[in-house]
Structure 1
């Protein structure tokens, strides 16, 4: 009988203790007590470490913005580079327009005339009935020899025809001290020319970019009388002596 009471008393004590612990746990949850270990660990992982702040994130945004600005600056540099590259492309094109005397660079140079050159006429063994006219730049600046020289032998009323096949691709520019050439066919080799005569007088004129006269005609010594007829012809100015005598 005593043992039965002891068992009941012990069972009642255990149940009372369990109820008390349950009540305490409920009270702690309702009063905002310590969070479970898992929640606390999650919160700790989201908080910045000691000695750090949110400033680095702002700096990263600033660096990103500055990076975009740097990219824009690079584009500006590339634009400047393209602009500087095109200038030279646009300048080379002007120099390349030196054909027939109409290019900008041609107009910027002086025109060869009797005032800045020296002219000489010499006989050549081949081709037959040909002579070589040489013009040398005696000035201090380069000059352009446009088209072909205009010739007047003796008292001729007209200038000889030009050999169109000898027309160069660009105006002949003569540097100081350098020379250009023109070939002159004085008469036909087969005697087919008409109105022939002999003369020891020759006057040479230059042309400007517009195919007009440039300066006065210059008297050029021949050294001896030269026979000319209706086949008299002259080539365009050439930079090479052989090219002047090919036609």
Structure 2
């Protein structure tokens, strides 16, 4: 082989080698340039909501959590305000009821002042009078000298002299309702002192008479001059609103 031929082949080989190197360099540059679009595409996918949701660590997730936190805070605040309003309403209602209760109490006190109470010896005067008919009878008159209406006991539990017991009441004289006395008005009760034919025993003359009231007070009643004669027939009627009814027994 000639030297020329040899140089020609060496030159060709060198040219091929340089071309290969150049091609390799171009391919390396092309690969390097391709990496950027690939990297950019990856970043773009990461910024998508699905990628952010899968990682759970992106800004979107943080903002979402912040929004949820604010929403929860607002909900809590709203609930507190509602509860506070409810509490305030309850308080006002309670106050209103309290005021109503107070008014009701005042009204009740006012009503109590107008309702009849128990008669008392301090506001009711009882007198005893002999009557011609029926014979051996005494008329008791109870007059309200006070300023308030009151109701009498069912009947006068009269105690004559030193008697240890009170006389029985004639049940047939019981009225439909307890006798009530308006100021200045009177109630009446009849007293059978003794048997008309003198058949009853244990007779004696009584010079004093006391009549108790339901409130615990006791009225001292003045008897006719010389006292009255009583025996085992002693009986009283219920208090009556009229004199005639009281003297029918």
Q: TM-score, normalised by structure 1?
A: 0.53
Task: Please list every run of at least 4 consecutive aligned residues from structure 1 whose deviation after the TM superposition is greater than 3 angstroms.
Answer: none
CA contact (8 A) 1:148 1:206 kept: no
1:130 corresponding residue in structure 2: 137
Do 2:142 and 2:187's aligned partners in 1 also have CA atoms closer than 8 Å? Answer: yes
1:161 partner SS: coil
Which residue is equivalent to 1:206? Answer: 213
Distance, in Å, in 2 between the alignment partners of 1:243 and 1:116 is 24
Which structure would you say has the larger Rg? 2
Query: Of Structure 1 and Structure 2, which has the larger fraction of its residues in strand?
Result: 1
Aligned-partner SS, 1:162: coil
Aligned with 2:244: secondary structure? Answer: helix
CA drift at 1:149: 0.8
Secondary structure of the corresponding residue to residue 158 of structure 1: coil
Residue-by-residue CA offset, 1:36-95 (whole Å, 9 max, x unaligned): xxxxxxxxxxxxxxxxxxxxxxxxxxxxxxxxxxxxxxxxxxxxxxxxxxxxxxxxxxxx
Residue 233 of structure 2: which of 216, 231, 234 is its match?
231
Aligned match for 1:109, one of 80, 95, 116: 116
Looking at structure 2, the residues matched to 175 and 108 of structure 1 have their Cα atoms a distance apart, in angstroms, of 11
Q: What is the CA–CA distance in structure 1 between the aligned matches of 2:213 and 2:245, rounded to whole Å?
A: 20
Superposition CA RMSD, Å:
1.6
* 1:151 and 1:160 in contact (8 A); partners too: yes
Match among 139, 142, 146 for residue 139 of structure 1: 146
Structure 2, unmatched stretches of 5+, are 1-111
Counterpart mapping for 1:41-52 below 5 A: none
Corresponding residue for 1:219? 220
* Greater helix content: 2
Structure 1: stretches of 5+ with no match in the other structure: 1-104, 208-213
State whether structure 2 residue 198 is matched by structure 1 residue 191. yes
> How far apart are residue 164 of structure 1 and its match?
0.4
TM-score, scaled relative to structure 2 = 0.53
Q: Aligned to 1:118, what secondary structure does the other structure show?
A: strand
C-alpha contact (below 8 Å) 2:130/2:224 kept by paired residues: no
